[in-house]
């Protein structure tokens, strides 16, 4: 099942939410933040979709917003899809999908650690890579640190 | 430099056997330098080159009397091989303090010496392990060949042979600079 079929199936099921193709990725579908949990439950439970494997959760800094990315695979049906959810930079909050895919636990902790995205209802949301007392979220584009020096241009 | 090569020079025949006359410094330093057990501290790719390849039969660290141990409490030498992150720096320091005196440190590879060729501008990497623990020998390279590590170990043994029990022991436990806690 390819992206257009999956998208069509989602649009038939959830007429109240908007789905659009991701221009950056041939497998990507952009969904609304409030649709995430409903869509995720549908994707894992529907017999024609059966996305029972979450490859990863990560995030992208787009300046004014963050994109939270969910890569999903179906082991029995051998197809996959990329979900993208845009969250505003001022209030970077999104529902956790740990209850649906337990893999998401540490992946969401990583996205929280490096991007500062708060995953609501996460069982254990604390830093996973940086030391506990670390200030800031290093993979944000506006992050600065005293150790980050730039060498002069040698070219 | 080892005991075996030098021992016949000091042996003197006496009835019923032989005795060796030497300085106390030489005896102590030989004991310290001849079987340095090192704590495994592989943090990055240097661990593959320096600790695994150097310890393997092809290069054979055992012929120097050097073995790796799993616990720092049994070790005399710490070979810091790899990138020390700020989070790891506290652990490096803890393990260093768990080693019994006399203890020595070899900083192996560019990352352990000054942050390395790739992480010089990283927010998370300690710029040299000598900021948290005192280092005796620096072995440059990325990663160094096992032969380079052996050269560093031989240099360390030469350094130990010049130590004397008459001199007050250097205060080695406290590092000069401590940026990891700052």
Could B124 and A130 be called an inter-chain contact, meaning their C-beta atoms sit closer than 8 Å?
yes
A151 occurs within a structural domain: no
Give chain A positions within 8 Å (CB) of B87: 129-131
**Res A100 pLDDT > 60:** yes
Test B120 with A148 for CB contact under 8 angstroms: no
DSSP sequence for B23-73 = -HHHHHHHHHHHS--EEEEE-STHIIIIIIIHHSTTT-GGGGT--EES-GG
What is the widest separation between alpha-carbon atoms in chain A?
58
Q: Which of A49, A39, A36, A41 is nearest to A101 (CA)?
A: A41
Residue A19, min C-alpha distance to chain B (Å): 38
What would the mean pLDDT of A40-48 be, rounded to a whole number?
A: 91
| Rounded-to-integer distance, Cα B96 and Cα B94, Å | 5
pLDDT of residue A96: 93
The rounded distance, in Å, linking the Cα atoms of B86 and B56 is 30
Q: Which residue has the higher pLDDT, B1 or A88?
A: A88
Note whether B123 contacts A147, CB cutoff 8 Å: yes
Confirm whether A152 is domain-assigned: no
**Average pLDDT per block of 10 residues along chain B, 182 residues long:** 59 79 82 86 85 86 85 90 90 91 90 85 87 91 89 90 72 50 46
Q: Is residue A141 part of a domain?
A: no
Pick the more confident residue, B6 or A56.
Answer: A56
Predicted pLDDT at B162: 85
Q: Domain limits at A67?
A: 3-90
| pLDDT at position B8 | 61
**Torsion over CA: B153, B52, B128, B134 (sign):** negative
Q: Which residues of A touch B84 (CB under 8 A)?
A: none
Q: Decide: A115 and A128 in contact? Cβ < 8 Å.
A: no
Contacts of B24 (CB under 8 A, 6+ apart): B165
Averaged over A2-12, what is the pLDDT?
A: 89
Number of domains in chain A: 1
Q: What is the pLDDT of residue B167?
A: 65
Q: Give the position of tokens 């000069």.
A: B176
- Where residue A43 sits, what CATH number does that domain have? 3.30.460.80
Binary contact (A147, B121; C-beta < 8 A): yes
Of residues B33, B123, B32, B38, the one with CA closest to residue B81: B38
Evaluate whether residue A11 is within a structural domain.
yes
Let me know if residue A55 belongs to a domain: yes
Position A143 pLDDT exceeds 80: yes
Domain assignment present for residue A14? The answer is: yes
Chain B: give the shortest CA distance to residue A147, in Å: 5
pLDDT grade for A41, boundaries at 50, 70 and 90: very high
**Structure tokens that stand for A4 in this block:** 């257009």
- Domain assignment present for residue A97? The answer is no
pLDDT higher than 50, residue A61: yes
A154 has a pLDDT exceeding 70: no
ipTM confidence = 0.71
C-alpha–C-alpha distance, residues A93 and A33, integer Å: 9
**pLDDT of res. B101:** 82
The reply to whether A84 falls in a domain is yes
- For the cut 50, the answer to whether the pLDDT of residue A87 exceeds it is yes
Q: What is the pLDDT of residue B182?
A: 43
Strands A79-88 and A65-74: antiparallel
């Amino acid at each position: 099942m390819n992206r257009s079929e999956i998208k069509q199936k989602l649009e038939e099921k959830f007429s109240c939410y908007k789905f659009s193709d991701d221009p950056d990725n041939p497998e990507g579908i952009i969904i609304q933040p409030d649709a995430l949990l409903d869509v995720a439950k549908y994707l894992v439970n529907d017999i024609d979709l059966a996305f029972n494997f979450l490859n990863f959760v990560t995030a992208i800094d787009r300046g004014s917003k963050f994109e939270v990315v969910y890569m999903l695979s179906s082991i029995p049906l051998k197809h996959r899809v990329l979900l993208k959810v845009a969250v505003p930079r001022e209030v970077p909050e999104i529902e956790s999908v740990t209850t649906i895919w337990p893999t998401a636990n540490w992946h969401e902790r990583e996205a929280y650690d490096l991007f500062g995205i708060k995953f609501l209802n996460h069982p254990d949301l604390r830093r996973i890579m940086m030391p506990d007392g670390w200030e800031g979220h290093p993979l944000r584009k506006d992050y600065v640190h005293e150790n980050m020096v730039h060498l002069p241009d040698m070219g | 430099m080892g005991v075996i090569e030098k021992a016949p020079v000091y042996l003197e025949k006496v009835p019923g056997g032989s005795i060796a006359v030497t300085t106390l410094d030489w005896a102590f330093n030989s004991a310290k330098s001849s079987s340095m057990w090192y704590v495994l501290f592989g943090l990055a790719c240097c661990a593959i080159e320096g600790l695994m390849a150097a310890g393997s039969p092809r290069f054979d660290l055992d012929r120097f009397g050097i073995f790796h141990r799993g616990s720092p409490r049994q070790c005399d030498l710490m070979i810091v091989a790899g990138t020390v992150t700020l989070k790891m720096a506290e652990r490096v320091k803890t393990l260093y303090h768990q080693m019994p005196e006399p203890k020595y440190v070899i900083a192996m590879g560019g990352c352990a010496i000054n942050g390395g060729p790739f992480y010089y501008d990283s927010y998370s990497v300690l710029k040299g392990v000598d900021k948290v623990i005192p280092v005796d020998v620096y072995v440059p390279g990325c990663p160094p060949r096992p032969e380079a590590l052996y050269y560093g170990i031989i240099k360390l043994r030469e350094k130990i042979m010049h130590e004397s029990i008459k001199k007050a022991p250097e205060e080695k436990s406290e590092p000069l600079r401590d940026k990891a806690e700052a």
